[in-house]
Amino acid sequence: MNSSTADPAVPLGARVAAARTVVAGRAVEGARRVRFSWFAILQAAFAAALAFAISQSVLGHPYPIFAPISAWIALGFSEDRQLRRILEISGGVAVGIGLAELLVHGIGSGAWQVGVVLVAAALIGRFLDRGQLVARLAGSQAIVIVGLPATAAGGGGFGRLADAVVGGLAAFVVVAVTPSDPRRWSRRHARTAMVDLAAVLRLVARGLRDRVAQDLEDALLTGRSSQSALDDWKSSATDARKNARVTPLARRYRPDLEQLEHAAVMADRAMRNARVLARRALTAIQTDDTTALVELAGAIDGVADGVDDLGTALSAGSSVDRARTQLAAAGERLDPYRLAHHDIRLQSLVLLARSLVVDLFQATGASDSEARDHLPPL
């Protein structure tokens, strides 16, 4: 737990400021989730409504509740929809419903029947897919079938299975006929994550330059609250790359998606280094070497400029040359022997900043050796 929010000796004003930073970070994170998910939610809602309409109008089921349920579960809220995953989820729902219909017709409904149906559905789900999702969906849908009389749902009997199939197909078709650039979401997340990283580094630089511990505390809090943006970037890039393997129109983007995924991993390492940098700086600002603090702060500001340029390049799919130039200029200033020859605390900060620069160079696609070529030798 952060000391500024847990230690009663910390002034009330500092604790209030820290609490505001946490609340603001969570509000920004929530707004980001809404901004990135609104279209996915509309898409899922449209697929559910379409499935309901088809089952009701074409199949003649008055209350086809399993059609929209299947479509909604298949799509979820993620902006990165994998066609293969949609089929897997729809299949899990259909397996659970179909198996439960068969067993209910033979053994009826009741407590022990629920147990039997769950075991059978889970075993079949595990057989069909190595993950747990299909088995869980098959089991949960089977429970609904066993506990819900056929007369409570439109179509009765195996009509509920037909509704589930319609829902899965509606979800698949809606996603398939609304193609989009698979790099779009990864690039958006990349920009957001890099803006956050640059903000953390600028807070660290200001805290070092002005010897203000609160800036360094804020940098730690900002870095922690920004982890979800990095996680979203990594997961969206990974999902998009996997989707490109089975979607013909997206295969041409595989090199870009692989680069975005690699950049996300390296940016995550850089953020972790930045958080450690902020934590170590809390003790380093006690040094008497003001000149070294100011010069180190300037170098970190330069790294932040490179991060901004890298975020712009990744989000636009443009050249990373400007970002590399900025990072190289900042890296050339990170000589621990020149900056802090007599202070081990400052030397450790310089070494952490060097590691951060290496991570960021690798995020541009450079190798580890190429990245280290831009740093003063140790």
Give me the pLDDT at residue 298, please.
93
Nearest to 326 by CA among 361, 370, 350, 355: 361
Q: 182-372 has which CATH code?
A: 1.20.58.220
- Residue 224 has, within 13 A of its CA and on its CB side, a CA count of 16
169 contact partners, CB below 8 Å, separation of at least 6: 51, 90
Give me the pLDDT at residue 89, please.
74
Q: For residue 53, which phi and psi values (nearest 5 degrees)?
A: -65, -40
In the chain, domain spans: 44-176, 182-372
Query: One digit per residue, pLDDT tens: the chain, 378 residues?
Result: 444 445 556 677 776 777 777 787 778 777 777 776 777 788 888 888 998 999 888 888 887 877 888 888 878 766 556 666 677 777 777 777 777 777 777 777 667 777 877 787 777 777 766 666 666 666 776 776 666 655 445 555 567 778 888 888 888 888 777 766 778 778 888 999 999 999 999 999 999 999 988 999 999 998 988 888 888 888 878 877 776 665 655 667 778 888 899 999 999 999 999 999 999 998 888 877 788 888 999 999 999 999 999 999 998 889 999 999 999 999 999 988 887 777 788 888 899 999 999 999 999 998 888 888 888 887
Distances, alpha carbon 23 to alpha carbons 11, 16, 81, 220, 368, in Å: 19, 10, 31, 14, 38
Number of H helices, E strands in the chain: 16, 0
31 contact partners, CB below 8 Å, separation of at least 6: none
Rounded to two decimals, what is the model's pTM?
0.64
Give me the pLDDT at residue 39, please.
79
